[in-house]
Amino acid sequence: MPKILLVEDDPILARGLEVILKLEGYQIMLVNNLREASEIDERKILITILDINLPDGSGFDFLKKIRATGSKLPIIILTAKTDEDSIVYGLQQGANDYIRKPFGNRELIARIKVVLKDFSLPEKNLDYGDLQLFPDQREARYQGVKMDISRREFDILRHFMERAGVIVTRDSLLKNINREGEIFDRTIDSHVSHLRSSLRKSGINDIKISSVYGIGYRLEKT
């Protein structure tokens, strides 16, 4: 059964939402603070409904922390704020949608379904010269031939191809591909070196990963 993480400290509103969402066929994981929300394994969650004003901090901070890991977990923010700046700020920090309190049950259900529909769309394939990346299949191909690369190399290559031709900082790599905390700043160069080796083994000599001294790297054509 699809699970929704509901982060809401108003007990009356939270219980009401729990009843409504269960009637729609969702399983609810209900927490009332950011600490408990941070302990939830996001891989078990379909979507998060996040209140902004919580007893131990702002939902905006939680949102920023989640997005800094590279997570694409769908998040809808709930807010009693009516000013446009707060809404825009939430969207800029990575919220998929927002709902102003008070709201109707049908509006909430409709917004959840729209966000999930968008999230379920196939990810766009990436092309750079004769190099192709297929995110849904987690495959990389050069001139139509499948490349032999590791999971970590795939993630790094994807990050580079999404930003082909521009400088990618080490900090950007750490934030966007380091979901399990397996990479440290001092090991970034080693991971990139392994990817370069895999590119050479695949016969790729017209695309390279250049080092930008003191900043990071750039995927570019030779």
- The domain boundary, picked from 119, 138, 158, lies at 119
Q: Give the pLDDT band (50/70/90) at residue 60.
A: very high
Residues 103 and 200 in one domain: no
At 186 the pLDDT is 64
Nearest CA to 211 among 197, 193, 186, 194? Answer: 193
Does 13 share its domain with 87? Answer: yes
113 and 24, same structural domain? yes
Q: Looking at residue 180, what DSSP letter applies?
A: T
Both tokens of 153, joined, read: 């190399």
pLDDT in tens, 151-174: 889 989 999 999 999 999 888 887
Same domain, 71 and 173: no
pLDDT tens digits for range 79-100: 887 778 888 888 888 899 999 8
- Name the residue range of residue 153's domain: 126-221
**Strand 216-221 vs strand 167-169: parallel, antiparallel, or unpaired?**
antiparallel
pTM: 0.57
Show which of 76, 98, 119 is a domain's final residue: 119
* Tens of pLDDT, residues 11-35: 999 999 999 999 988 899 999 999 9
Closest CA to 218 of 179, 162, 175, 174: 162
Q: How far is CA 68 from CA 23, 60, 93, 176, 222, in A?
A: 33, 12, 9, 7, 32
Q: Are residues 111 and 140 in the same domain?
A: no
Least confident of 10-24, 129-143, 177-191: 177-191
CATH code assigned at 204 = 1.10.10.10
